[in-house]
Structure 1
Amino acid sequence: MNRGDAERICLQVFDALDAMYEAERAIAGLGKQERIRFHDSVQEVIADLEEKLLLPICEQYPDLLPPTEEREPSILFSALAWSEVKLPSSVTEEQLDEVIVSLLTPRRRKVVWFVTMAEERYKELGWAISHEATAARLKALSDMDRIEGIGDMRYWRNSEVRLKD
């Protein structure tokens, strides 16, 4: 499988997992009998998606793994505006934009995933840029119509970014 196929499949699996997690939350609100009836089935589907689809692909392409509790930022909401961000003196706005655009694809990515991946790239470059600054720049780029931002970008798990078509 080539990387493009792996990315497309992973994104579809992530969408399916998001839907199953929503179903799991909905089931948690049901009465006891209904919870018992549906809980195990949802757990089986989640386990199959993760173990039989996602894990084998991500063994080949580990960078496609979504953020985990260990890798995920501790802050998942930020109202920081781009005008409030102070970049390190060695990094220009244009350089930051180049890195951000290089990490985006035409496929939607959760902002929480993106800020985590961006941080890894910044570390490779020796940059000290916070998740909040990255999210603020994503919102600014979306507001300028340079990228597509979907949802309320202050809430990183509930919003997505991608390159414009």
Structure 2
Amino acid sequence: MNRKEAIRLSDQLIIANEAMMKARTAIAELGKEEQLEFDGPLFELLVELQWQVMVPLYEKFPDLLPSALLEELPVPAPTTDVAWSDVKLPRGATTAALDDFLMSLLEPYWQKVALVLGKGIVRSEELGFPFTYRMMAARLRYLWDTGRIEAEGHLRSPTQSQVRLQD
């Protein structure tokens, strides 16, 4: 992709991202039942747009990322340098709580690691959990290494790997 194509794509992605954010705001004003029905699928679509399309584009063309999106867009930290043995959990957090939290994000079907981590960041903040992207990424790799979850691809690259609950 050349720069001109990247600019054109970026413009359209920003419009799509803003439209989805406005739709989530509108959904938040609906009744509880409608919120439950519509916000989950829209949220997953938004995470997919951001992690699978926008982040890779802005990794290749970082100067195209508008400053207004810096706080909104999840920019993945590298996972290659963090092993679970190097992770220090904050006071009050336990490995069991992190495992339970991660398992609640997984499904019996394949999901991109980037999507799982993106959902994890948002839910962790919503629930007031102290779990960071790097903690969750390192722990997912550990769970895979020990056979507690299934994974395929390169777990050091969240956009190039998938995870799921064991059958």
TM-score (norm 1): 0.60
Number of residue-to-residue matches in the alignment: 114
SS at match of 1:140: helix
CA positional deviation for 1:152: 1.4
Structure number with larger C-alpha Rg:
1
> Unpaired segments of 5 or more residues in structure 2?
3-8, 10-15, 17-23, 28-37, 55-71
Residues 1:72 and 2:52 aligned together: no
> What amino acid sits opposite 1:109 in the alignment?
Q
For the aligned residues, what is the CA RMSD?
2.6
> What amino acid sits opposite 1:104 in the alignment?
L
The aligned counterpart of 1:63 is 43
SS at match of 2:96: helix
Identity %: 34
1:11-90 matched pairs, under 5 angstroms: 60=38, 61-65=41-45, 66=48, 68=50, 69=54, 70-90=72-92
> What amino acid sits opposite 2:143 in the alignment?
L
CA positional deviation for 1:122: 1.0
Give CA deviations for 1:82-138 in whole Å, capped at 9, x if unaligned.
000011111100011001101100111111111110011111221232211111000
CA positional deviation for 1:72: 2.7
1:1-165 matched pairs, under 5 angstroms: 60=38, 61-65=41-45, 66=48, 68=50, 69=54, 70-165=72-167
CA positional deviation for 1:76: 4.9
Give CA deviations for 1:10-33 in whole Å, capped at 9, x if unaligned.
xxxxxxxxxxxxxxx7xx8xxxxx
SS at match of 1:114: helix
Runs of 4+ in structure 1 deviating by more than 4 angstroms, as ranges, are none
Distance (whole Å) between structure 2 residues aligned to residue 81 and residue 67 of structure 1: 28
Give CA deviations for 1:54-81 in whole Å, capped at 9, x if unaligned.
xxxx983222221514433243543300
> What amino acid sits opposite 1:119 in the alignment?
I
Pair 77,86 (structure 1): closer, same or farther in 2 beyond 3 Å: closer
> Unpaired segments of 5 or more residues in structure 1?
1-24, 29-42, 44-49, 51-57
